[in-house]
Each structure stands twice: as structure tokens, then as C-alpha cells.
Amino acid sequence: MPILSRITGPADLRALDADELEELAREIRAFLVASVSRTGGHLGPNLGVVELTLALHRVFESPRDTIVFDTGHQSYVHKLLTGRSDFTSLRRRGGLSGYPSRAESVHDVVENSHASTALSWADGIAKAYALQGATDRHVAAVIGDGALTGGMAWEALNNIATAQDRRLVLVVNDNGRSYDPTIGGLAHHLDTLRTTRGYENFLAWGKRTLRRSGPPGRLAYDALHGLKKGIKDVVAPQGMFEDLGIKYVGPIDGHDVVATEQALRRAKAFGGPVIVHVITEKGRGYVPAEQDVADRFHAVGQIHPETGLPVAPSRFGWTSVFADEMVAIGRRRSDVVAITAAMLQPVGLAPFAAEFPSRVFDVGIAEQHAVTSAAGMAFAGLHPVVAVYATFLNRAFDQVLMDVALHRAGVTFVLDRAGITGDDGASHNGMWDMAMLRVVPGLRLAAPRDEPTLRDALRAAVDVDDAPSVVRYPKGPLPDALPALDVVDGVDVLAREDGERRVLVVGVGPMAHTAVEVSRLLTAEGVGSTVVDPRWVLPLPSALVKLADEHDHLLVLEDGLVEGGVGAMLGQRCTEAGVATPITSVGIPLGFLDHATRGQIVEALRLRAEDVAHDLLVALRARG
């Protein structure tokens, strides 16, 4: 009987011996490859933490002890060990989330999949336990070396170091990567730690030598410790952590369950904050992942488990167009530089980096620093393009407002995965950007609908040198090109249909295609319409207010929040201008979206063309 089938909770692990743990690790890896190849998901990170997660659950008694995973995409093993073995609907509606979820288990604590937060969570939980006198409860936070590049992690470390009585173990899972190889001074420091285990080996040798020669004399003792002091900074620069006041243990082979468990037990028994530095290999035990240098297995769609190749090759998508156009812009303009936050490959900057390596800056998971550094570059005469996922710009809103906009800095923000992304759940949907950025004075935002408008928007955005400019686009394949029939004061007219009533349909970005289909459905019911796409929605074109006044009803379709979105803004402008045309805004309601496919979410929110047309016709008939 497979060992994995007998694991119903963490307590079952503690009865296993070393050989059984090794076999369980093999079974878990086989299970992950077979399951994730069918559903898609984060494969590489989970293959790399199998033994570490086993050791964590053998040492800490979850849920009484709290285990917090930074980012959380490496929590699949944790789910398996806490009684969640049905991965058939992983990241699908009704199935397991791809991240920790309180709705699934008492063993899950932090649902947010934004990085660099776990140490602050752990600090807060440990403080609460201490204040409540729960001295027998421990907190373990697992943070990757990639997430440790985020400034928030260091803010937490600075505070954790001030309280030596908190039972807090910080596990640095060091695999040298986030999405891409970890960069920066911390990465160099961890590299040094990985390659200088000679210090611990020297001490072990010295102690063995003294034991063999009988009770150490004072001279031998002084010689050993004098030599230890002299070589410490050369071969063991863990002083960066110890100088903060946090005990350091490591580096430990994170694929050796016994060694990792022993290190965690020592740290747990210490009674104060301890950093346990474990070295792991992302994709461990799966040959295609181990041999892949581009880290394609960080997150995968459906793949053939034997080869790791995609079941269905990806269609040419939005990100590829950005990648291609950025190279073209870079060739024309030597002042254009690119910045990203540990996502060089996913956001499409790899081709630009290959051609202009000195003009690309990957700052690690540090969006705030990326934005303010970009403001500095703009001041010094460059035009930075900051490329991130739309959801991650949320983390740097203050810097966009106060460092870029206030200083009228010419910085372009390219927001990939804008709108509904689906599978990764609430924290990854890029639904906040338009409502959030509309309050930034002077900011200009484009929402292209297809490949030609995306290329045009990028070229126009980098020409803005006195304010922040933003170009947003969704995840996935490109739709067919949707050419304009006419242009009215900078607003593209996509369709005109006659009818007894006339509706102005405003399609924002990729929703322009839905708007055209809505128009066709309205026409079938005898309702006329004009479909327009403003392309640039911030600042809102005044032509939209004029067009609204010429129609009987106004319909706005957007893939962002309805609350504070483009429709709300247009309604406000119409009211200010004395335009009384009734308005219907269709988009994403205020709230958090559960994980599901994009299509399922669109259907649930009634954003399909047939649903929008039906609901509008009902409203029009109710008005008489």
C-alpha cells in the first residue's frame, strides 16, 4: 500500500522512519507530476520543497503551531500532508486553490499570493501568541530567496530582531530563483553561503581532533577559537543575519529530511527568532524541469508528463506583441530602458534583454523600488518602461502617485494580465488598475483592443515625457484585429446600426469585441447602436460625453471594477456636463473573485455578449 495513501494529516508523518520518508518523498513527486500535468499549476516550486515540507510537519504541530508560506504557490505538498489529496480539479472552480486557502483547511493561514509578506504575518502571529501567554505555540515562516528580495521582508526582519522571546523560525528556502534567477546583493550573499560550508566543516574537524587528543588544554582551546574568529568572515558570512540579532542555522541540504528536521528542531528549541537556511533545487526529481534553464516549469499548463511539453502549444498572445514592439522601440530610441520585478520572462522582456542587456534592470520582488528608481531614471534623461502584472502594481501605488506623477516623470507602465485572469484566484486578477489609477493626476492610460492598437499604444506611451503613461492588456491569446470604421475626436467608431432607439456602446480594451457582438444582438431586436472604443481612457475623452448626449442610452463594458471604473467616471462627466442620458455600467463587481477559468468567471458575472444584450433589452423595455 503506498505510504501517501495512508497520510491523512501531519500526525501520520511522525510514525515514519527515514526510509519510509524517502519513499514518501518519491511518491509525492510522482503524484505531483501526474496531477499537475493534467490540470496545470505551479510544478517546479512544489517539486523543490517536498522534503522541507515533510520536515516542517514532523517538527511543528500544525494547526496549533502556525506554518506560513510566502507567496504560497509551493503549498501543494502542504495540502497533500494535511488531508487534501483530490487534485483532479486543482485551480478549477469547486476544486483546490493553487494557493493556501482558509476555506479549505485550518492548516492554511495566508491566502494572499503576493510575495514578501510571510515574515510580517509571522511576526504578528508570534506577537499575539506572546501577549496571550501561549509560550508553547510556535510560528514557522517559509520564504524563498526570491521573495526575500522584497523590501517588506526586510522591514519584518528589522522588527523580528528586536524581540528575542518570540518562538519564531524563519525558513529561507534558497533555490536561487523566483520566476527567474534571483538577483541583487542578497543573491550574491546567499551564493557565498551556499559555497562556503567549509566553516562548519572546520569546526567539526577541530572538535573531533580535540576529543581524540583528550581534554583540551587551554592553548589548544585558544588556538581553535582564535583561528575560528579569523576565518569566520572569510568562509561563513552569515553575519548579515546574526548582526541583525537573529540566530542563523545553515546552510542545510533541504532534500535531506533528517538533516532538515534536525535543524528545525534545534531552531524550535532555541526559544527566539532563528533563520534556518535550506538549499533546495526547483523541479527536483523531474528530469524535464531539472534540465530546463528557462524555468518553464515554475507554472505550467497541461503538459505531457513524460516530456514536459505542452499538450496544446500557446497561441500568439498579447505578451508576445509587447515583447516584439519593445525591441523595435529600443532600436529606435536609445533612451528607452526596461525595468521589471523578478518577472523578466513572464512579462516578455527577455528579447529586449537579449538585444540590450545593459538597458534592462530586474530589481527582484521590489515593485516600490522599481517605480521610484524609474522616476530617478526619468529625471536623469531616460524613459523607463516598467513591466509587471497588473495585480502587482497595487503594491506600488504610492510610488506611482508621489514619486512619478507628482514629479511629472515620463515613466511608462505596462500591465500584463490586466482584467480577469481566473485560475490563480483573487489576488492575481488584474481588476483594480483602472479604478485605482484614475485618481492619479496627469496619468494617461491606454486599453488596446487588438495587436495594432497595442503597438500604437506602446509607441504613443513612450512619447509621453511629462507624466506617467500606462498600457494594460489581458492574459492569453490575441483576438482578431478589429479595425475602426471612423474616428470621432480621437475615439474609434467600430460599428453603427440603425434602429428605433439608439444606444452608445463603449467597449474598453478587449471588451470592444464583446461590444460589437452586443450591437449585433441589439440590431436583431430592432435597437440601433453606435459602438466606440476610446483606446485611451485616462484622461477620459470629452468626445464620449458628446456622443452620449446624442444617444438614448449609454452602455459601458469594461474588464475592471465597476466601482470607480470607466463607466462610473463617464457617468460623472455626463452629470457635470448636464447630459442626462441613462447609463448602464457592466464590469467586475466590487469583491474578490474565486478561482475558476476566465470563461466561467465571465459567464458568472454576465459579461458575455448575449447576457449583456439581454439585460440591456430588459432595462430598455422596463423604461418604456
Question: Pick the catalytic residue: 395, 417, 472, 475?
Answer: 395
Question: Tell me, what CATH number does 255's domain have?
Answer: 3.40.50.970
Q: Among 209, 231, 253, where does a domain finish?
A: 231
Q: What would the grid cell of residue 294 be?
A: 528557462
Distances (CA, A) of 380 to 82, 330, 335: 53, 18, 10
**Helix/strand/coil (H, E, C) string of 372-385?**
HHHHHHHHCCCEEE
Q: Decide if 278 contacts 253 (C-beta within 8 A).
A: yes
Kindly state the helix (H) or strand (E) to which residue 472 belongs, with its residue range. strand 469-472
Contacts by residues 426-430 (CB-CB < 8 Å, ≥ 24 positions apart): 426/111, 426/592, 426/593, 426/594, 426/595, 427/99, 427/111, 427/112, 427/113, 427/114, 427/391, 428/113, 428/389, 428/391, 429/391, 429/588, 429/593, 430/389, 430/390, 430/391, 430/472, 430/474
114 marked as binding residue: yes
Stretches where the chain sits below pLDDT 70 are: 1, 112-113, 176-243, 293-295, 312-316, 425, 624
Whose cell is 455578449? That residue is 609
Contacts of 611 (CB under 8 A, 6+ apart): 603
Kindly state the helix (H) or strand (E) to which residue 276 belongs, with its residue range. strand 274-279
Whose cell is 511543528? That residue is 60
Instruction: Let me know if residue 20 belongs to a domain.
Output: yes
Q: Decide if 72 contacts 107 (C-beta within 8 A).
A: no
Q: What does the pLDDT read at residue 185?
A: 52
Q: What does the pLDDT read at residue 232?
A: 40
For residues 101 and 188, state if they share a domain.
Answer: yes
Question: Pick the catalytic residue: 58, 282, 296, 535?
Answer: 282
Instruction: Let me know if residue 312 belongs to a domain.
Output: no
Instruction: Let me know if residue 304 belongs to a domain.
Output: no
Question: Pick the catalytic residue: 367, 451, 517, 558?
Answer: 367
Q: What does the pLDDT read at residue 43?
A: 82
Contacts of 80 (CB under 8 A, 6+ apart): 4, 7, 28, 31
DSSP letter assigned to residue 591: S
Q: How far apart are CA 209 and CA 408, in angstroms?
A: 67
146 marked as binding residue: yes
Alpha helices in 400-528 (DSSP H): 433-437, 451-461, 511-524
Angle at which helices 218-235 and 198-212 cross, to 10°: 170
Whose cell is 501520520? That residue is 12
For residues 125 and 14, state if they share a domain.
Answer: yes
Q: What does the pLDDT read at residue 234?
A: 38
Instruction: Let me know if residue 525 belongs to a domain.
Output: yes
Tell me, yes or no, if 367 is annotated catalytic.
Answer: yes
Nearest partner of 562 among 587, 583, 540, judged by Cα: 587
Distances (CA, A) of 248 to 311, 493, 516: 44, 63, 61
Taking only the tens place, the pLDDT of each residue in 80-116 is: 999 998 888 888 888 888 888 888 899 999 886 678 8
For residues 395 and 445, state if they share a domain.
Answer: yes
Q: How far apart are CA 17 and CA 304, in angstroms?
A: 34
For residues 29 and 91, state if they share a domain.
Answer: yes
Q: What does the pLDDT read at residue 468?
A: 98
367 marked as binding residue: yes
Beta-bridge mates of residue 249: 276
For residues 390 and 409, state if they share a domain.
Answer: yes
For residues 175 and 207, state if they share a domain.
Answer: no
For residues 577 and 602, state if they share a domain.
Answer: yes
Tell me, yes or no, if 229 is annotated catalytic.
Answer: no
Taking only the tens place, the pLDDT of each residue in 17-48 is: 999 999 999 999 999 988 888 888 888 888 88
Tell me, yes or no, if 395 is annotated catalytic.
Answer: yes
Instruction: Let me know if residue 602 belongs to a domain.
Output: yes
Distances (CA, A) of 238 to 45, 190, 192: 25, 9, 9
- Amino acid present at 147: A
594 marked as binding residue: no
Sheet holding 247-253, edge to edge: 66-69, 139-144, 168-174, 274-279, 247-253
117-148: burial string, b at 16+ Cβ within 10 Å, e else? bbbbbbbebbbebbeeeeeebbbbbbbbbbbb
Question: Tell me, what CATH number does 570's domain have?
Answer: 3.40.50.920
Q: Decide if 523 contacts 529 (C-beta within 8 A).
A: yes
Sign for the CA dihedral angle at 237, 241, 244, 247 comes to: negative
Q: How far apart are CA 460 and CA 441, in angstroms?
A: 19
Q: Decide if 141 contacts 115 (C-beta within 8 A).
A: no
Q: What does the pLDDT read at residue 85?
A: 87
For residues 8 and 40, state if they share a domain.
Answer: yes
Q: What does the pLDDT read at residue 177?
A: 54
Task: End-to-end CA distance of the chain: give it in Å, rounded.
Answer: 70
283 marked as binding residue: no
Nearest partner of 271 among 435, 129, 367, 395, judged by Cα: 129
R_g (Cα) of the chain, nearest Å: 28
The structural domain count of the chain equals 4
Q: Decide if 60 contacts 137 (C-beta within 8 A).
A: no
Q: What does the pLDDT read at residue 230?
A: 41
145 marked as binding residue: yes
Residue 208, exposed/middle/buried by CB under 10 A (0-12, 13-18, 19+)?
A: exposed
Helix, strand, or coil (residue 44): helix
375-392: burial string, b at 16+ Cβ within 10 Å, e else? bebbeeebbbbbbbbbbb
Instruction: Let me know if residue 295 belongs to a domain.
Output: no
For residues 125 and 168, state if they share a domain.
Answer: yes
Residue span of the structural domain in which 496 resides:
486-623
For residues 572 and 463, state if they share a domain.
Answer: no
577 marked as binding residue: no
78 marked as binding residue: no
Instruction: Let me know if residue 303 belongs to a domain.
Output: no
Length of the chain: 624
For residues 129 and 214, state if they share a domain.
Answer: no
418 marked as binding residue: no
Q: Among 472, 494, 510, where does a domain finish?
A: 472
Instruction: Let me know if residue 481 belongs to a domain.
Output: no
Q: What does the pLDDT read at residue 456?
A: 97
Q: Decide if 583 contacts 570 (C-beta within 8 A).
A: yes
Q: Decide if 145 contacts 172 (C-beta within 8 A).
A: yes
For residues 499 and 591, state if they share a domain.
Answer: yes
